[in-house]
Structure 1
Amino acid sequence: MTSSSAKQPPVELKQTTQPVRPEQDEVSPSNDKKRKKPLSFYFTFLALNICVLLVSLDATALSVAVPVITHELNGTTLEAFWASLCFLLAVVAVMPIITSLSDVLGRKIPLYASFIIFMIGSIVFAVANSMGILILGRALQGLGGGGLDVLGEVILADITTLKERPLYLGLFSIPMAGGAICGPIVGAALAEYASWRWIGWINLPLGVIGFLLFFFFLRLKPIESALNSKLARLDWTGMALFLVGSILFSLPLSWAGAMYPWASYQTLVPFILGLLFLTGFALYEARPVQPVFPYRIFSNRTSSATLVGAFMHGAVLNGGLLYLLLSFQATFRDTPFRSAIEVLPICVFIVIFSIVGAVSVEVLRVYKILTMAAWPCLAVGVGLFALWKPGVSDGIKYGPQVLAGVGLGVLFTICTFPMNASQQVDDAGLAIGIMVSFRMFGSMTGLAIGSTVFHSIFEQRIAKLGQLPSELAVLHDVREAIGFIPSLRTTNHSLPAYDGVIEAYRVSFMAVFLALAGMGAVGFLFSFAIKELSLESEEVGRQGFEED
């Protein structure tokens, strides 16, 4: 089969009518036999679901448990910051590299390596007796989890045709979205009622089952070339440039305004260096035989607009959920577990509408109108979070969550279809891997923007309150604002400045939600550039599933 790197991307044709299904879909017993999936396919699909459930749970379970862990291990605010950050940094850095490795070496080697690293990281996390060991465990989990997350979607694209993918993606979205949503509840419950160490231990039985299912039932078509030839094709220079650039770029984004001011050398120097490395990486990618980010993936407006949308969706999804939880804990003084219960409306609707989005594409065979309808729901819903204040009605508290959940859920799955429809079939897995990487880069950026906006507004509001009582004086250091949130429940509510502090938190979170809503508006504008392309392809890529 001709190498995918030699193929040109398909020309985008505007489709004004619903595509007609080929006649052979309706008849031919032989065609039915051809389309029948082997039993090993369904066990592989089960393993993929376990895979994304593991990573989704693990990525979000720690957020509400960090204060408990930091207190038990006598950690500092800085160590608590890194415990949350290192996982996401590792995921962002490793995803494109794993995608590129799997496109050259085959999916299995990177998949098994990711599983092993993730399991080792889970054990290190669970047995940690210091914050340093815990941070190491989280970093290992991020390296392994990033591989599992991206390869889950890549392999799904490999083993299904574009025509049938909406059905399987709808099913696949249940553990993907459900894990991300249930993670905070699981983490809060374990931290408050059992032990935070179970956040690591619960990965082991599921991980072993998933690994064994892959080992015995994953049957992908091999890439026919010698190992030396495969290694020679890898874009080692590009991977190094991306790894260094993404880390240098992401680190200052994560601490700007929280640990160091934006104008400080600690923020500006790595940020500028990261931009230079990433610019060099982008220019260099025209040279390798098998680049990490092939230019052909970005060569049409549908894929480019979809990648921008995936970036914005990741920013709003992860940034929104984190600050949603913190907002309930600060504005309404909820416990971590109670805050996780309070966000169930948005969580449930994300899961439901991630399935609805995929099923709608399966039935209607179109995706553009659904994409354009989802973005306003997302942007308006998240923007309405800014109305929250103590004593607000349940309708104002939960209604916007439902609206935002509809938009976030539909976009969770629907971005896959224009991304694949605009590419050659052999590039399906690679294109999805790049899209997932963009979504995770968006997650990092959304968290960074949220952090910068929150700390900037909070510092201004606290300064207006003047000298604070001793019980609240720590808040003059804006870096302590997030860490102090659990103490708001136990602090004397009759203190003169207490209501002013609560208002400072409320206004700061309001600014964060409005900034994220603005990112949703950008996603909506780019959705106009997406073209409606046919979803009727029945081909699988060069690493598709082998028949029994």
Structure 2
Amino acid sequence: MNNATMSHRQVLEALSGLLLGMFVSMLSGTVVSTSLPVIVHDLGGDQAAFTWVVTSTLLTTAIATPIWGKLSDLFNRKVLIQLALVIFVGATAAAGFSQDAGMLIAFRAVQGIGAGGLAALSQVIMADIISPRERGRYMGLFGAVMALATVGGPLLGGFLTDVANWRWNFYVAIPFAIAALIILQITLKPAPPTRDRVRIDYFGIVLLATSVSLLLIWVTSAGDSASSWFGWWSWQTAVMLGGAVLAGILFVVVELRSAEPLVPLTMFRNRTFTLSVLASIAIGIAMFGTSVFLSQYMQMARGATPTQAGLMTLPMIGGLLIASVVVGNLISRYGRWKGFVVTGTVLTGVGAALLSTLHYDTNFFLVSVYMLLMGAGVGMTMQNLVLIVQNTARPEDLGAASSGVTFFRSLGGTIGVSVMGAALASQVSTLFVDRQADIGKALASLGKKGAEIGAQFQTGTLPEVSKLPDVVRVIVEDIYAQGIAASFLIAVPFAVLSFIAVLFLPNVSLTRMTTRERLQASEADLATYSAEGGMEAVPATGPVPTQAPQSRRSRRDG
């Protein structure tokens, strides 16, 4: 099945299950975003637990993404995306039964395994159905799905938390998931696997998971504050950081020697792939870090309820959706992308810098403008980096290439949330000590109620700021505003890095050929060349050019 033999209606039918699956994935993530402070508070978690509830999902998503991408080159893609959906929704529903922060973190980690599959496979299957040049024509549909999930999710989650119970946040996507599985089974007919021989790089999977996990545990747990498990300069730091580096080196060695590497390092010879990876890491840090802590800012620094926080973050979501849909259509119409992506990285950096100036009483109109700029920057950049890589990747490496960019974006997001969360926890801990006299005076004025609040502060559990008395709430809001603003500043240099990487990307025009058409055209080209006596016959499963003969110029990008 390819775009050349499919009518617009057939393409829409093929995309319907995929769109619903993406909706389930996004809804399950966004519906809890504004409720996390309340969830972590109810489960007795501290700021480190809040960070790990988010980081655990991002970590396993990052690790699982290249694995699913490689599997998509080897096995039936429809079966894989259905399996990923089952894992994702099953773990999400199980998270609703969590009795403490540890259980929630564990189920969220399993959720990330399924999320990695949905992220990687949706990109690969879209490339099977729609050419890079025509992708923008359908961006309105993806924009509508994103709008419904990213706008409706936080509002629905906040409403369920305020009116009923936060546990319903984890159950609401189940009916949609069942419908998505049925529709995928009926409508989706993806291209067959591009490899005949099935080999899975198990050793590479273990080494990658070990390296990334040790690095993030170290970043989150180390520090000099009383809440940290160990210091920056300690034997635990040496073991974890050294182990992460060693596992990373061994991973590179294994990938170079593997017949079917998890992450084909030869792809880094392609300048487009390498620079897109660098930009994706930086965008992931800026995107995930700011979006996670913006919700916390609304509740911890402005005293909003979960429902109010969902409404207050709409400017960022609106900027992301409008920019992604409008820019997607412009790219599809004109076939040029570089100016939009460069502009997106600039807006991301400016938005992150402005968000780092926030106070608890910053005029909300200015906060909305800052969020709008950040959202527009991410919307112009995020998916287009995957599109650029798919445009130049070899058809038989499409799964690995697509998931490679998504993996590094998730990895960047995981590192970003971990580093920003660790910085926030350290800053808040320091500020609570510095403001101890002010807090003590405010608590004393409340009598017995103040003593109860003070005892809760001593446990380290995240406070429910919207329910604190005004005299205490103002101090707590100021503390969290300063800590969150300082963490936003971390995203700025990475946004600058993404701008530099995108600036040097080769400006290759987008092809109108789907993945299967490119593979067939390349095989036909090789067969013609062989028939003319130019070379021995080449097996269809061997390396092939990425474009039809008339498009070979676009391959010379590094």
TM-score (norm 2): 0.81
Q: Residues 40-51 of structure 1: matches in 2 within 5 Å? A: 41-51=11-21
Residue 48 to residue 253, structure 1, CA distance change in 2 (3 Å) = farther
The offset of 1:279, in angstroms, is 2.1
Q: 2:511 aligns with which of 536, 539, 548?
A: 536
Q: How many residues align?
A: 504
Instruction: Provide structure 2 residue ranges, at least 5 long, that are not aligned to the other structure.
Output: 444-449, 521-558
2: CA distance, partners of 1:461 / 1:274: 32
The reply to whether residue 403 of structure 1 matches residue 380 of structure 2 is no
Alignment check: 8 A CA contact 2:21 2:177 kept: yes
Q: Deviations over 1:267-316 (max 9, x none)?
A: 55323312221221122211112211112322122221111111111111
Query: Aligned partners of 2:100 and 2:422: how far apart in 1?
Result: 29
Which one is further off, 276-285 or 458-467? 458-467
Q: In the TM superposition, what whole-angstrom CA distance separates every residue of 1:308-349 from its partner, at most 9, and x where no partner exists?
A: 111111111111011111112233222222122111111111
Q: Secondary structure at the match of 1:43?
A: helix
Aligned residue in 1 for 2:217: 251
Structure 2 contact 303–477 (Cα < 8 Å) conserved: no
1:489 is aligned with what amino acid? S
Aligned runs of 1:9-20 on 2, under 5 Å? none
Match of 1:208 among 178, 201, 207: 178
Query: Which amino acid counterpart does residue 484 of structure 1 have in structure 2?
Result: L
2:60 corresponding residue in structure 1: 90
Alignment match of 1:357 (pick from 327, 330, 338): 327
Query: Which residue of structure 2 aligns with residue 341 of structure 1?
Result: 311
Find the partner of 1:217 among 162, 187, 192.
187
Cα deviations by residue, 1:20-70 (Å, 9 ceiling, x for unpaired): xxxxxxxxxxxx994433855423311111112211222233233344445
* Equivalent position of 1:301 in the other structure: 271
Cα distance in 1, alignment partners of residues 365 and 94 from structure 2: 44
The SS at the match of 1:140 is helix
CA deviation profile, 1:452-495 (whole Å, cap 9, x unmatched): 22233333433333544165757987x93xx4342x33434336
Give the equivalent residue in structure 2 for 1:323: 293
Q: Check conservation: 1:119, 1:207, Cα contact below 8 A.
A: yes
Once the 2 structures are TM-superposed, how far is the Cα of residue 251 of structure 1 from its aligned partner?
2.5
Aligned equivalent of 1:9: none
Q: Secondary structure at the match of 2:56?
A: helix
- Residue 420 of structure 1 corresponds to which residue in structure 2? 390
Q: Judge conservation of contact 1:73–1:131 (CA < 8 Å) in 2.
A: yes
**Contact kept? 1:62, 1:199, Cα under 8 Å:** yes
Counterparts of 1:485 and 1:72, CA distance in 2? 10
Do 1:315 and 1:446's aligned partners in 2 also have CA atoms closer than 8 Å? yes
Secondary structure class of the residue paired with 2:190:
coil
Q: Does the aligned pair in 1 maintain the 2:3–2:130 contact within 8 Å? A: no
1:169-184 residue pairs with structure 2 within 5 A?
169=139, 171-176=141-146, 179-180=149-150, 182-184=152-154
Counterpart in the other structure of 2:470: 493
Deviations 1:218-247 (A, max 9, x none): 212333877xx41xx222221222122222
Q: Could you tell me how far 1:362 is from its partner in structure 2?
A: 0.9
Q: Which residue in the other structure is 1:388 paired with?
A: 358
1:500 Cα offset (Å): 5.0
Aligned partner of 2:524 in structure 1 is: none
CA offset digits 1:78-97 (Å, max 9, x no partner)? 76665444323322221111
Query: 1 CA distance for matches of 2:435 and 2:102?
Result: 37
Q: Which secondary structure does the structure 2 equivalent of 1:285 belong to? A: helix
CA distance in 2, matches of 1:224, 1:369: 33
| Residue 205 of structure 2 is aligned to residue 239 of structure 1 | yes
Which region of structure 1 is more displaced relative to structure 2, 371-380 or 421-430?
A: 421-430
Q: What is the identity, as a one-letter code, of the residue corresponding to 1:53? A: F
Q: Which amino acid aligns with 2:392?
A: S
Question: Contact 1:302–1:531 (CA<8 Å) still a contact in 2?
Answer: yes
Q: With the length of structure 1 as denominator, give the TM-score of the two structures.
A: 0.83
CA gap 1:54/1:528 in 2 versus in 1, 3 angstroms? same
**Which letter does structure 2 place at the counterpart of 1:159?**
I
- 1:354 is matched by which residue type in structure 2? S
Report the alpha carbon displacement of residue 266 of structure 1 after superposing the two structures with TM.
4.5
User: Does the Cα contact within 8 Å between 1:49 and 1:176 map onto a contact in 2?
Assistant: no
Q: Would the aligned equivalents of 1:121 and 1:136 in 2 still touch at CA under 8 Å?
A: no
Residue of structure 2 in register with 1:14 after alignment: none
- Where 2:96 maps in the other structure, the secondary structure is helix
Paired with 1:517 and 1:71, the residues of 2 have a C-alpha distance of 30
Give the Cα separation in 1 of the matches to 2:72 and 2:509: 27
Structure 1 gap segments, 5+ residues each:
1-31
One-letter amino acid of the counterpart of residue 114, structure 1: A
- TM-aligned CA distance change 1:132 to 1:251, over 3 Å: closer
Counterpart of 2:468, as a letter, is T
Question: 3-state DSSP class of the match of 1:210?
Answer: helix
Match of 2:462 among 474, 479, 484: 484
Shift of 1:188: 1.7
Corresponding residue to 2:405 among 412, 426, 435:
435
Change (3 A) 1:375 1:65: same
Which sits farther off after the overlay, 166-175 or 320-329?
166-175
Report the Cα distance in structure 1 between the residues aligned to 2:489 and 2:6, rounded to whole angstroms: 48
Report 1:135-284 matches (<5 A). 135-169=105-139, 171-176=141-146, 179-180=149-150, 182-223=152-193, 229-230=197-198, 233-257=199-223, 259-260=228-229, 261-284=231-254
Taking a change above 3 Å as real, the CA distance of residues 133 and 400 of structure 1, as seen in their structure-2 partners, is: closer
